[in-house]
Amino acid sequence: MVNDFMDFGLEDWDEDDEDQVLYESEEFSKRYNFEVEKAEPLSTDDLPVLPLRGVVVYPMMWLPLPIGQRRSIRLVEDNLPENRMIALVTSKDENIERPSPEQIHTIGTAAQVHRVLRTPDGTIRLLVQGMERIRVVEYVQEQPYLRARVEVLPEIIEDDIKMEALMRAVQDLFRRLIDLEPQMPDELAVMAMNVENARQLAYLVASSLRLDVEEAQKLLEMDSVYEKLLRLTQLLNKEIEVLELGRKIQSEAQGEMERMQRDFFLREQLKAIQKELGEDDEQSADIRELEERIAAAQMPEEAEKEARRELDRMRRMPIQAAEYSVIKTYLDLMVSLPWQKTTPDNLDIEHARKVLDEDHYGLDEIKERILEFLAVRKLRAERKSDEGEEDLHDRIRREREGVVLCFVGPPGVGKTSLGISIARAMNRKFVRLALGGIRDEAEIRGFRRTYIGSMPGRIIQSLRRVESKNPVFMLDEVDKLGRDFRGDPSSALLEVLDPEQNREFRDHYLDVPFDLSQVMFITTANVLDTIPGPLQDRMEIIQLSSYTEDEKVKIAQGYLLPRQIRENGLRPEEVTMTEAALREIIQGYTREAGVRNMEREIGKVCRKIAAKIAAGTAPETTVVDAPDIYHYLGKRRYHGEEIAERVEIPGVAVGLAWTMTGGDIMFFEATRVPGEKGFTLTGQLGEVMKESAQAALSYVRSRARDLGIDPDFFKTSDIHLHIPAGAIPKDGPSAGITMATALASLLTGRRVRPDTGMTGEITLRGKVLPVGGIKEKVLAAARFGLTTVILPRHNEADLDDVPETVRERIHFVLVDTVDEVLQAALEEVPAEAVEPPALAAESSAPGRAG
């Protein structure tokens, strides 16, 4: 049987002149064109064992083997040329240089040595030919090299149609593999197709594949040739799949590279064409445009220096680079900011007064403050022109606004719309930024350019959008800023709202100072409690109070109704709404400090009228009176509080409260049950309110004898004090005198006067201390029909803020002690014994806090 099909990669053995030929067999000298049957018979007595590392030798396989270990060289010297047969067995661990018998596989290949060369570096190279599979039966020698008794392991060869089909499948797969693998010669495919012996085909394919040592050893140890071919089929399919995927990836990568090269060549050609035509390429056009815009932007020195530095980086950078677009975006922002763009102020005082009166009814204090601001700026401008040139320090101080207004008041009273009116009166642009829910400091200061997708803060973005350096900038809902691990936005606002610091405000994205001193900042809030003290210190607080019923009627007649008529496509002559109808809407359908819900209800009436007009069923003029409101808006949502009915039983008092939605009234109910010194408080009260209740009870107990109460009442009774609307949290000290009055009314049997409301903090000694929100509380009392209000004497000055029309309708009782409160609030004669009703769980208005 001819074996020259295994002769690949052996030509170097004849051409290496530096190698010294120690041995060469006759077969090899005849160009290894010989028959296997002519080889020496295989001796099974014992053979020298040469351990192999990282390689498995198959039968019928030619392989060059370099050896350098002393014991391997000794094996060659002792056995050649007399005995050319050696056992080649693979080590289990290729990292072990001198494996012991236990570290060598038991199945290997008996091979003939056909040539031995000694190289100049002292190593020996063998050319061996695999003959038969063998199993190591027993090692007979370990020193100076291994010798073992072996036995031949012949393969099982099935000669049937299944074997033939499997051989053809292996040949086809092997041919496909060679087509995909450029490093494998095409002659291998021809050899595989001409092989008729299944054993030869299996070893030819196995010796050509990239198999790891473990897989190659398993293949050698298989006894059945059919199983060998079946396993080779799996390995070939896997290798073909890997090569096809690699070729696909390479093809896609090559296509992408070719596309990029094509684009590059086309761009270069386009540049050459544009150069010939005297035109610029895209990059040159961008740089030239940015240079012109930087020169025209009138930036400060530091900002212009930074912009030109970035432009130089952009000029040296290829347009395909990712950093190129980042720099371009940054420079686009820099050149579009209003570094020196301002709008001229309209300092006409009468014009400003007219605009403010057109947009808002009342709010006299705020209007006067705006007019004062304009007057100061007008005087500065006029006297500067009379006195001549001024130095830089004076100019800077003149240009600074020096004021940050903070409008604080309940919703719907016109805080945001007032900012728009101020901008219109001053002929300035208006920008609004809602701060509610902002928790990230970077929303104010911006993100550093080191982050992907970074952008400037909302302050800089808004100024870029409005294109003016001196707009009216409204920061809405400043009391609703959040705070978490990302930072404290309210702290970032400290620099923005400080006229002495914001002249050099540094946004993290810009990283250059921007002058905010000419911006007129206006903030709005519902409450001051949640605004940090340092931030409050930078603002001028202006309180906006609730509207009275008369003011709401005037606002509806002059502003809300005309606007809703216009927005709903009606004409003024088509709708008329009487004052009684407006009061019915205010009393029965809205209960608020402002007029926002009132406008919604008026708009609903207008839409229903518009629907009738469109259907052709409405008269030329629709007059809406109080009885008609029910047909437009349905049943009333709010009914007048029956205060007299609620307080006809001793132990119930009416307190005045102030919330973020305006003033309101609260009922304090006390009852007495048999028990042992228990005092129960319900209604979801805060700690401060609970302490006030304890102080009120202690005071009443201390004055029991003077009030005509059994001094030992607490030993046999439990007291329960309840404030309805128990699902709404309530807190604050201003309910102290109300709780003391309710307890005193319960224990004395004297009812509280039904027309009386009260507010004030008490001490343990019975002193009445001042509280806040007097105007809102008095307006709430007037809204609910109370005619007497008990207030701390120290709050007398706060009554100046109450509208005169309300002051005329209410009798104010100013007190210093709780005794004075009880004298004014309780009836003289105890009421008859009445079975107390169940504690109420109703509320006069949602969202209330005591």
Catalytic residues: 734, 777
Token code pair at residue 719 = 């007291």
Number of CB atoms found within 10 A of residue 556's CB: 25
Give the 3-state secondary structure of 686-723. Answer: CHHHHHHHHHHHHHHHHCHHHHCCCCCHHHCEEEEEEC
**From residue 446, how far is each of 449, 451, 457, 459, 826 by CA, in Å?**
9, 11, 4, 9, 61
Determine the Cα–Cα distance for residues 781 and 391; give it in Å rounded to an integer.
57
Number of CB atoms found within 10 A of residue 486's CB: 13
Determine the Cα–Cα distance for residues 358 and 420; give it in Å rounded to an integer.
12
Contact 79, 86 (CB under 8 A): yes
Exposed (0-12), middle (13-18) or buried (19+): which is 557, by Cβ within 10 Å? middle
Placement of tokens 């096809």 in the chain: 244
Assess whether the previous peptide bond of 144 is cis (omega < 30° from 0): yes
Reference 231, options 254, 243, 214, 247; nearest CA is 214
Long-range contacts at 831-840 (CB < 8 A, ≥ 24 apart): 831/648, 831/649, 831/650, 831/749, 831/750, 831/751, 833/749, 834/648, 834/649, 834/650, 836/649, 836/651, 836/671, 837/649, 839/669, 839/671, 839/682, 839/720, 839/722, 839/724, 840/646, 840/667, 840/669, 840/724
Contact 236, 170 (CB under 8 A): yes
Number of CB atoms found within 10 A of residue 287's CB: 18
**C-alpha 74 chain-centroid distance:** 74
Placement of tokens 């070893």 in the chain: 203
Determine the Cα–Cα distance for residues 87 and 133; give it in Å rounded to an integer.
9
- Strand residues in 547-695 grouped as ranges (E): 575-577, 622-624, 652-659, 662-674, 679-682
Determine the Cα–Cα distance for residues 295 and 453; give it in Å rounded to an integer.
27
Strands 47-52 and 146-152, how do they pair?
Answer: antiparallel
Determine the Cα–Cα distance for residues 463 and 461; give it in Å rounded to an integer.
6
**From residue 680, how far is each of 17, 493, 671, 697 by CA, in Å?**
113, 45, 10, 11
